[in-house]
Amino acid sequence: MTANAFKEDREKCFQAGANDFVTKPIQKTHLLNILSNYLTATQATTDPSPSSIKSSLEAEQGFEDLLVKYACSLQHGLDEIRSAVTKQRWDVVRARIHEIKGTGGAFGYPSLTQIAAQIEFQLTCENLDDVNVLLPQFEQICTAIIAGTRQLPVGEKV
């Protein structure tokens, strides 16, 4: 998985031993279709639809653990952003927002990616009033994602 979508990047990945190539932002249907090509016969279902594959993947303990770890890192990033806003450390805010924009797409949260991209753009333009208007929406989306992982039946929670 990469944000680099050029033909040369794709070729380098295959030369390095990659089996397939997925660019960010992740489109769930595309990712699930690719994953279906690599599921073993015991993992495969009679229904190869993306929703069926997604259900199979979500049933795997490792996937749920990964979501919980993501939510923990999202909480940490949100805390860092809040602190940086208070200190007016806009460089730190921009760096954390950029990270969350990418990971939000990778984990299939397009609303998180979209609001993070808007904030990143406003930070680049130094429109801090607009940033302050967008941040509560960003926090609301982050909080909903974090709360959703608390319902997963896995070990350590956020």
Query: Could you report the per-residue pLDDT of 77-121, keeping only the tens digit for each?
Result: 999 999 999 999 999 999 999 999 988 887 778 899 999 999 999
pLDDT(48) > 70: no
* Identity at 18, one-letter amino acid code: A
CA angle at 87 for the pair 100 and 78, rounded to the nearest 5° = 25
By CB neighbour count within 10 A (0-12 exposed, 13-18 middle, 19+ buried), where does 3 fall? exposed
**Residue 101 to residue 103: CA distance in whole angstroms:** 6
pLDDT(44) > 50: no
**Residue 158 to residue 149: CA distance in whole angstroms:** 8
Quote the pLDDT of residue 58. Answer: 53
**Residue 103 to residue 108: CA distance in whole angstroms:** 8
pLDDT(136) > 90: yes
- What are the start and end residues of each CATH 1.20.120.160 domain in the chain? 61-149
Quote the pLDDT of residue 46. Answer: 43
Lowest mean pLDDT among 31-35, 78-82, 105-109, 145-149: 31-35
Question: Which among 40, 39, 4, 38 is positioned nearest to 22, based on CA atoms?
Answer: 4
**Residue 15 to residue 2: CA distance in whole angstroms:** 15
CA distances from 153 to 67, 68, 149 (A): 11, 10, 9
Quote the pLDDT of residue 145. Answer: 87
Residues 152/64, Cβ–Cβ less than 8 Å: yes
By CB neighbour count within 10 A (0-12 exposed, 13-18 middle, 19+ buried), where does 142 fall? buried
pLDDT(142) > 50: yes
Lowest mean pLDDT among 43-52, 81-90, 104-113, 142-151: 43-52
**Chain length of the chain:** 158
CATH of 61-149, one of 1.10.287.610, 3.30.70.3000, 3.40.50.11540, 1.20.120.160: 1.20.120.160
Quote the pLDDT of residue 150. Answer: 63
Q: What percentage of residues in the chain have a pLDDT greater than 70?
A: 68
